[in-house]
Amino acid sequence: MTPIDDHPLRYALANELHARPFPVASTPCTVVFLAIKKTTEAVGRDRHEDMVHLINLLDRHGAPHPQPEATHYAGQIGRHWLKWEQHTEFVTYTAITQNVSDRAFNPADFEVFPQDWLMASPGQRVTSAMMRVVDLESDAAAKDALADWFEPESLAVARVLDDAAICASDFRIDPAGHMRFALFVNQGTGRRRTGRIIQRLCEIETYKAMSMLGFARVKQLTPRIGELDAQLTNLMGQMTDNSAHPDELLPDLLATSIELETLSARCSFRFGATGAYEAIVNQRIEVLREQRFEGRQSFADFMMRRYDPAIRTVKSTERRLQALSDRAIRAGELLRTRVDVERSAQNQALLESMDRRADLALRLQHTVEGLSVVAISYYAVSLVSYLLYPLTKAGISKGMLTAIVTIPVVLIVWFAIRQIRRRLE
């Protein structure tokens, strides 16, 4: 049998689907999560710096290095299991440690990431979280723990994955600077399912934080967008009541249009990323298959009340900015049309003026031609008369001779000038 040639990317693409496996976790355990992003040019950053930072952490524990071009890594570092992932704008570190501290959410648990290593980070912290994963003893015990660990007013808690576990968070930053998540795992829930829940909770927090960057950008832009809206409305008002000449409006309209296009270009990626991150957040919550716990709000309820309004503001601002750009384009087209109409009227008036001048020139030319015939005829008659003076000896007077030659000479001069003019035309 003749073998068939494989596409050069076949195995690479197939393996990509399995490149980021879920963590495997046994209860009880402590999960420490960190997401790092450069403040500027995050997409075009030097990704080698991310790798160097990871290797620095691995070397502290004598752990093996990843492949040079790897975008993910998983392995044991000391007594911690570490998972590292490189994303478009950020990198994430997830460390899972067996057992939990006596003190819930002990800041010392975050020391898996040393302070000097954090200070040498190639970016800044977008979010960090600590997750306490314990066995579910009873609903009452879980309820008491939640009341002790979280702010009741913003607490979101739900049973997930067909009552495999109870997850909870108040989405507040604690005094140590971390988000807190609690996961109470039911008996019979496997290590892999527990790991998937941990992964989903970390992803919800990460993409929530990343999508909120769009909201922060919108808060910065809103005052300026309002000013540009007012400027554009004022310019269109002046166009409507003809209170200013188009040449005076055009520079201001161009400046407004350019600034709107610049804002749209600078924000297009952030707006697009915000929409993508929001979709991931909602999808990750959906796959948890939440069920209400003790009448508390679920993660979906929390996002609907606290998170969705911010995302709607981002989308509304994106639409407003696009609408302003479209208005500026239409205003420019209207102004250009008005200028074209005025120029057409000016050109028409100029053509009419030129027609009048041409008509006057033609009349003047005819007048000059008439005078030329008279003047040339006068001199021609005089010359012919001088030539014919000898005939006066035959009894013809000079007056009669001049009268006889005048008409033929005038006709000959007129015919000659007309022939000359025809040749010139």
For residue 53, pLDDT over 80 is answered with: yes
Are residue 407 and residue 326 in the same domain, yes or no? no
Which structural domain, as residue segments, surrounds residue 401? 368-424
Residue 218 lies in a domain: yes
Q: Let me know if 225 is exposed, middle or buried by CB neighbors in 10 A (0-12, 13-18, 19+).
A: middle
The structural domain count of the chain equals 3
Are residue 57 and residue 104 in the same domain, yes or no? yes
Are residue 23 and residue 153 in the same domain, yes or no? yes
Distances 385 to 171, 271, 372, 412 between C-alpha atoms, Å: 124, 102, 20, 15
Question: Tens digits of per-residue pLDDT, 60-92?
Answer: 999 999 988 888 899 999 899 999 999 999 999
For residue 371, pLDDT over 90 is answered with: no
Residues with Cβ < 8 Å from 154, sequence gap 6 or more?
Answer: 170, 171, 172, 302, 306
Residue 25 lies in a domain: yes
Query: Cis omega (within 30 of 0) on the bond before 28?
Result: yes
Are residue 216 and residue 287 in the same domain, yes or no? yes
Residue 171 lies in a domain: yes
Are residue 186 and residue 310 in the same domain, yes or no? no
Are residue 222 and residue 138 in the same domain, yes or no? no
Are residue 144 and residue 226 in the same domain, yes or no? no
Point out the domain boundary residue: 152, 168, 199: 199
Are residue 157 and residue 228 in the same domain, yes or no? no
Instruction: Quote the tokens at residue 354.
Output: 């030129």
Q: pLDDT band at 364, cuts 50/70/90?
A: confident
Query: Which DSSP string corresponds to 49-101?
Result: HHHHHHHHHHHHHTPPPPPTT-SEEEEEETTEEEEEEE-SSEEEEEEEEES--
Instruction: Determine the Cα angle at 31 with ends 148 and 120, to 5°.
Output: 115
For residue 328, pLDDT over 90 is answered with: no
What is the pLDDT, as a whole number, of residue 216?
94
- Comparing 70-74, 147-151, 214-218, which segment has the lowest mean pLDDT? 70-74
Instruction: Quote the tokens at residue 330.
Output: 């239409």
Are residue 110 and residue 24 in the same domain, yes or no? yes
- Phi, psi (rounded to 5 degrees) for 314: -60, -45
Q: What is the mean pLDDT of residues 227-251?
A: 81
> In 3D, which of 274, 262, 244, 205 has the Cα closest to residue 33?
205
Are residue 317 and residue 405 in the same domain, yes or no? no
Spatial strand order in the sheet of 90-98? 72-77, 80-86, 90-98, 29-37, 124-135, 179-185, 165-173, 156-160, 291-292
Residue 347 lies in a domain: no
Distance CA 419, CA 210 (A): 91
- Comparing 62-66, 191-195, 303-307, 364-368, which segment has the lowest mean pLDDT? 364-368
What is the pLDDT, as a whole number, of residue 388?
66
> In 3D, which of 269, 263, 265 has the Cα closest to residue 227?
263
**Model's pTM, two decimal places?**
0.78
The percentage of the chain sitting over the pLDDT mark of 90, rounded to a whole number, equals 60
Question: Tens digits of per-residue pLDDT, 110-132?
Answer: 999 999 999 999 999 999 999 99
What is the pLDDT, as a whole number, of residue 55?
95
Dihedral (Cα; 161, 164, 166, 167), 10-degree rounding: -50
Whether residue 197 contacts residue 285, with contact meaning beta carbons closer than 8 Å, is answered with no
Q: pLDDT band at 361, cuts 50/70/90?
A: confident
Distance CA 300, CA 307 (A): 10
Residue 228 lies in a domain: yes
Are residue 42 and residue 173 in the same domain, yes or no? yes
Question: Tens digits of per-residue pLDDT, 409-424?
Answer: 777 777 777 777 677 6
Q: Amino acid identity of 362? A: L
Distance CA 105, CA 181 (A): 9
Residue 10 lies in a domain: no
Question: Mean pLDDT for the chain?
Answer: 87
Q: pLDDT band at 391, cuts 50/70/90?
A: low
Are residue 194 and residue 216 in the same domain, yes or no? no
Whether residue 313 contacts residue 221, with contact meaning beta carbons closer than 8 Å, is answered with no
Query: Which one has a higher pLDDT value, 312 or 258?
Result: 312
For residue 14, pLDDT over 90 is answered with: no
Q: pLDDT band at 178, cuts 50/70/90?
A: very high
The percentage of the chain sitting over the pLDDT mark of 70, rounded to a whole number, equals 89
Burial 230-254 (b: 16+ CB within 10 A, else e): ebbeebbebbeeeeeebeebbeebe
Residue 352 lies in a domain: no
